[in-house]
Amino acid sequence: MADFQGVDFLGLDELLADEERLARDTVRDWVSAEFLPLIQQHVRQDGSFPMELVPAIAELGLFGANLSGYGCAGMNNVAYGLVMQELERGDSGLRSFASVQGSLCMYPIYTYGSDEQKQQWLPEMSAGRAIGCFGLTEPDAGSHVGAMRTRARREGDIWHLSGTKRWITNGSIARLAIIWAVTDEGVRGFVVETDRPGFEARDIKGKFSLRGSVTSELFLEDVQVPESNRLPKAEGLRAPLSCLTQARYGIAWGAMGAAMACYDEALQYSKERIVQGGPLASKQLTQEKLVFMLTEITKAQLLALRLGRVKDEGKLTPVMVSMAKRNNVDIALQIARQARDLLGANGIVDDYQAMRHMMNLETVRTYEGTHDVHTLILGEHITGHRAL
Ligand SMILES: Cc1cc2nc3c(=O)[nH]c(=O)nc-3n(C[C@H](O)[C@H](O)[C@H](O)COP(=O)(O)OP(=O)(O)OC[C@H]3O[C@@H](n4cnc5c(N)ncnc54)[C@H](O)[C@@H]3O)c2cc1C
């Protein structure tokens, strides 16, 4: 198939600055040349991420790309969004890897950490020498993180952490974990080095979705960390939720990358595939599907671009992000399913991308606030009635 050229029905490229286009095109080319040739084997194996690419991802400046200083690229939020789009055009696992490192691990240290914590971790993390994971979800606390049971108890200068975190991206390959735990003063965040006694990570096997990504369960049995490992400015659930807002922003862009990959593949395939004496693309039902895909991608692009500009102006609100994450992931999943359908039997094998994206997007629909949870967040915002 021909190389991916992007999808731009409304000429939105004209609304982008040169450096925004450059960031996008650089990552697009890298994903095509370096990542896509590897993903099939990692998905066929039981859940592995191509760790050999980490130095190159760091070299491209993609860890904490919208943060400044500490070796970070300092991109604006539109360039950052476009980067997330291109990474997820490769695979949701690749975008997840960068999102977790940047939005869920570097961002809390950057925003809530001490100067010492920032100096110690951020240069290492932007260079990809230290990989982080974000431990919020628990076996019995997913959508409702207020039900969290992981405890941190203070004795003098030492905190004792005990509990279980589940569904943690990069858990077993991380050098540090950002662990959220209940204390006598409420929820607090801790930087926990994963080689501390009492810390164990076990990978979750048998996933149909996000197979090119490591997902783990974390067990903390009286893990001891000094007070200097607590994020001093993180108080209450507001802190982890603010990290999720950052990550969800990237997902709103990223999901479009998966949708564009599926649309592009379906369009090219349907032009070449002959059914009943003519190209599949010449059939009315095919065209209806392709028109749906292009229209929804275009609407999602407008939503994401406006969100990025608003974020750069410092006016972004969590409910705006909820709308974009909810909508863009939903349409991406619908597009992936329709693309898979158009590919017929070929659509079920991994020589084509559609089914891999489709299965990945089931996770993307669930994590970082499920589709339903974002519906309820928006519903409460509109009506003033809390239904969560
Ligand atoms: C591959 C993968 C990677 C992940 N990575 C991370 C990570 O790095 N760090 C981390 O902390 N977490 C991570 N997660 C966890 C993810 O954020 C949670 O799975 C998610 O928050 C949903 O929680 P849950 O699975 O417990 O589902 P539940 O909360 O049990 O939800 C089950 C269903 O109930 C619905 N529901 C929930 N509340 C309501 C309500 N009030 N009314 C109606 N319906 C409702 C939900 O929409 C959903 O359909 C990851 C998950 C996956 C699958």
Q: What is the pLDDT of residues 10-30, one digit of tens each?
A: 999 999 999 999 999 999 999
Residue of 143, 251, 356, 378 to test ligand 1 pocket, by largest number of atoms within 8 Å of CB: 143
Q: Which pLDDT belongs to residue 92? A: 98
Q: Is 52 a catalytic residue?
A: no
User: Within 10 Å of residue 80's Cβ, how many Cβ atoms?
Assistant: 29
pTM score: 0.98
Q: Ligand 1 pocket by C-beta < 6 Å: which residues?
A: 100, 134-137, 142-143, 167-169, 210, 215, 363, 366-368, 370, 372-373, 376, 388
Q: Do 249 and 374 meet the contact criterion of CB atoms below 8 Å apart?
A: no
Task: Report the C-alpha gap between 10 and 264 in whole angstroms.
Answer: 16
Residue 263 has pLDDT above 80, yes or no: yes
Tokens read off for 354? 């559609």
Average pLDDT of span 42-70: 95
Q: Which pLDDT belongs to residue 45? A: 79
Catalytic residue among 86, 217, 368, 380: 368
Residue of 94, 136, 137, 204 to test ligand 1 pocket, by largest number of atoms within 8 Å of CB: 137
Tokens read off for 384? 């003033």
Q: What is the pLDDT of residues 107-125, one digit of tens each?
A: 999 999 999 999 999 999 9
Q: Which pLDDT belongs to residue 1? A: 78
Task: Report the C-alpha gap between 265 and 245 in whole angstroms.
Answer: 31
Q: Which pLDDT belongs to residue 377? A: 98
Of ligand 1's listed atoms, the one at least distance from the Cα of 207 is 1
Tokens read off for 376? 């309820």
Of ligand 1's listed atoms, the one at least distance from the Cα of 371 is 47
Q: Do 169 and 215 meet the contact criterion of CB atoms below 8 Å apart?
A: yes
